[in-house]
Structures are given as structure tokens and as C-alpha cells.
Amino acid sequence: QMEKVTAHVQDALEQGARVLTGGRPRPDLGPYFLEPVLLEEVHDGMHVCRQETFGPVCSVHRFTHVDEAIELINDCPYGLHASVWTRDAARGAGIAARIEAGTVGVNDAYQASWASTSPMGGFKTSGVGRRHGRQGLLKYTEPQAVVRQRLSPVHALPLLDHKQHARVMSAAVRALKYVPGID
């Protein structure tokens, strides 16, 4: 994973992105530790925009109107998590509702991971279903329909032989076409 993350950052740098902070390996903290990196001047053709980096990489994208930002976000084939950062939390919640991601934090990046009563999972090609909450529990179930015949018994009605029963049932089926709502 470290190789993938560094390759994505390197691809962005080679295409004109600029590191604002971070991005240095920290072997003193562990063999796979990379400082979180903040990139700017990132464009759509870079791996950090079109592939799931799944590492400590964040890109700054400048926009003039929020609709432009939402369109850019939703154009991505992935949608595991997104964050909206704003001084107006109510406006942030409205923006979050328009983002196609499994979880969206308003002025937060990690709280959704620990919300065990809320469903957690990605949209589009991100994630593999849901965990947590009712939806997470339901992924371990297999729905089954069990029906019981109440109106048209399979066996002949009392006092009728099989031929009489067949005639009665055939007439009942023909009569169904006159019942409103049954096509």
C-alpha cells in the first residue's frame, strides 16, 4: 500500500501538483508510515483524482461555486468517505446530502468510522457492502418468502370430486379478471 500511495503522489507531482505539507516517509515511526500529504494544483487526469489511493493524501481543489465542487466530487468513480469543511454547519449538511459517498463528515474526517449504529460503507466502486447499524446486520441474513395458500386449496373441496373441484377453481380464476386492481 505504501508503494501505491507514494506512486500516486509522485504521479501528481510529475503532472504539476504541488505539496503544501507532509508526504515524507517516516521510518522512525514504522516501516510503512508516511506523513499525511496535502496537495494542490491537482487535476482530473492524476491518479489521486481517478483512483482509490487509500492513504494519507488530501487534495485541495479550488472552485467558484459549490455546485462545481459537488459535480467534481460526484464525477469520481469512488465514494467511500467525504468531508465538508465550513463555518456554517447547516449549509455543510446540505452540501453533504448532495455528495455521493457512503459517509460524509461535516467538519470531521473520522467520526463516522466509530458510529456503530450507523451504516458504514461506500458508494459506486468503493467498499464492499455495509457494516454497522441495521444494514450491516442485514448483510448476514438471507431473505426468504414463506407463503401459505388460503383461498384456493390444492386438494378438492369437501363434497366435490376432483373434476368438480377443477371446474370450480377454473371458474374462480376466470372471475379474477373482473376484480378491480388485478391484471
What pTM was computed for the model?
0.62
pLDDT at 81: 85
pLDDT band at 129 (very low <50, low <70, confident <90, very high): low
Nearest residue to 102 via CA among 110, 116, 111, 112: 112
State how far the alpha carbon of 168 is from the alpha carbons of 165, 172, 178, 183, in Å: 5, 6, 16, 21
- Calpha distance 10→124 (Å, rounded): 26
Residues of the chain with CATH 3.40.309.10: 2-138
What CATH number was assigned to the domain covering residues 2-138?
Answer: 3.40.309.10
For residue 63, give the C-alpha cell. Answer: 472552485
DSSP letter (8 states) at residue 143:
-
Residue 149 has pLDDT above 90, yes or no: no
Residue 53 has pLDDT above 80, yes or no: yes
Cite the beta strand spans of 18-156 per DSSP E.
18-21, 37-40, 57-60, 78-79, 81-84, 103-106, 123-124
